[in-house]
Amino acid sequence: MNILIIAPFEGWVKTYLTQLGNGLCRIGNHVEYINYRLLDKSLFSFLKNDDAISMLRNRNLEKLLKKSKPDAVLFVIARMNFDFEMIRTYYKGKILVYDVDGPAWGCYSELSWLKHVDCLFTASRVSQRMLQKNSFQAFYLAGFVDPEHYKMMTLDNDSKEKYGAPVSFVGRPTPRRNEFLSEITECGLKLWGRKWHDETKCPVEKLQKCSLYDKDIFEDEVVKVYNASDLYVNILREPLNESSTILSLQAYAVPSCGTCIVQEWVEELDEAFEDGKEIISFKTKAEFAESVKKYSKDKDAARKIGEAGRNRVLKCHTHEHRAHELINFLTS
């Protein structure tokens, strides 16, 4: 089956969807990718009007689909960038949309466009219920990783020294994260990301001291942090905590590296991992601090949880597992 994935191929979305594509290829499909922002390009620099840009984008997509003729197109979009009713007039293959943002996704401001797509996949059980309540079909597609990318590594001493820590967090500061992380600075916390040195984003001096490198890290460096850390913490950013939904990429990637993760509870967690054995969850700031302090001291227990988490990922949450689920829908 030939599948075209259209998305903003940047940052974690690029990693995530490329791994999904690799999973699809490994089970016998052909996958192509297009950064939808390239569809906005024009030789006419004066083309600034939103309606004109939208028309250009949809015309470029029409040319692309008529040329490549994929069996299915999977859209991963941040807002309503495409006219699905128009696409349906000239494209006869499967139109799929993947919601990776949950209830706050901008495309949910109105739902009439859903009648023009074959399937909406969502990473959120909350979104799924909302859509079903409004009589739209939605399928839950859980998170996943490529375990050959997020893998257990043997690091040299220099890498252990640079990337290792009793407790690590990779991401940007937010008021909520600042509040939670301030509770565990004495546990050997190391923060990764250039914004931790920005006093407007992180006004907490003791958190600034936990950030040793004034830069963001990507790809292989992130995997090294996961491997070199005794414990990793994951805290929802605003406003995702309001709905307690979507198990993020880190919740699968960190265990895939064999490291124990202390993960904020979301609805999808209980069906993905066994809490307390494969992952450690928390619902309150007090629970968070208690768990981090406990497992940062009990490294043997943390290591066993990390090992069990990796086994669960390999058994249930690889990119090939999700590729099979997607293809099963398309061929059923």
Q: Give the model confidence (pLDDT) of 212-242 as tens digits.
A: 998 999 989 999 999 999 999 999 987 777 8
Mean pLDDT throughout 89-93? Answer: 95
Residue 176, amino acid: R
Q: How much is the pLDDT for 50?
A: 74
Please tell me the predicted confidence (pLDDT) of residue 49: 74
Percent of the chain having pLDDT more than 70? 98
Query: Distance (Å, rounded) from C-alpha 162 to C-alpha 183?
Result: 23
User: SS3 of 324, please?
Assistant: helix
pLDDT exceeds 50 at position 269: yes
What is the per-residue pLDDT for 282?
Answer: 98
Please report the pLDDT score of residue 54 as a whole number: 82
* Cα dihedral 163, 166, 171, 175 sign: negative
Where is pLDDT greater, at 18 or 54?
A: 18
- Token pair recorded at residue 307: 């090992």
Which structure tokens are listed for 245?
A: 């939904």
pLDDT at 44 over 80: no
**Whole-prediction pTM value?**
0.94
Strands 260-264 and 280-282 turn out to be parallel
Helix runs in the chain, H state only? 11-26, 50-68, 84-90, 125-133, 157-163, 175-181, 205-208, 219-228, 249-256, 269-272, 285-297, 299-316, 319-331
- Distances in Å between the Cα of 96 and the Cα atoms of 92, 106, 115, 125, 155 are 12, 17, 12, 18, 40
Mean pLDDT for the stretch of residues 240-256: 92
Residue 48 has pLDDT above 80, yes or no: no
pLDDT at residue 85, as a whole number? 95
Q: Catalogue all structural domains in the chain, each as residue range(s) with its CATH number.
A: 2-144+318-331 (3.40.50.2000), 157-316 (3.40.50.2000)
126: number of Cβ within 10 Å: 17
Write the CB contacts of 44 (distance below 8 Å, at least 6 apart in sequence). Answer: none
pLDDT tens digits along 157-215 = 999 999 999 999 999 999 999 999 999 999 999 999 999 999 999 999 999 999 999 89
Report, as an integer, the average pLDDT of 113-136: 95
Q: Centre a 10 Å sphere on the Cβ of residue 96 and count the other Cβ atoms it contains.
A: 22
Q: Minimum mean pLDDT among 47-51, 238-242, 261-265: which range?
A: 47-51
Name the pairing type of β-strands 119-122 and 138-140.
parallel
* Average predicted confidence (pLDDT) for the chain: 94
What are the angstrom distances between the C-alpha of 184 and each of 30, 180, 225?
46, 8, 18
Residue 276: which pLDDT band, with cuts at 50, 70 and 90?
Answer: very high
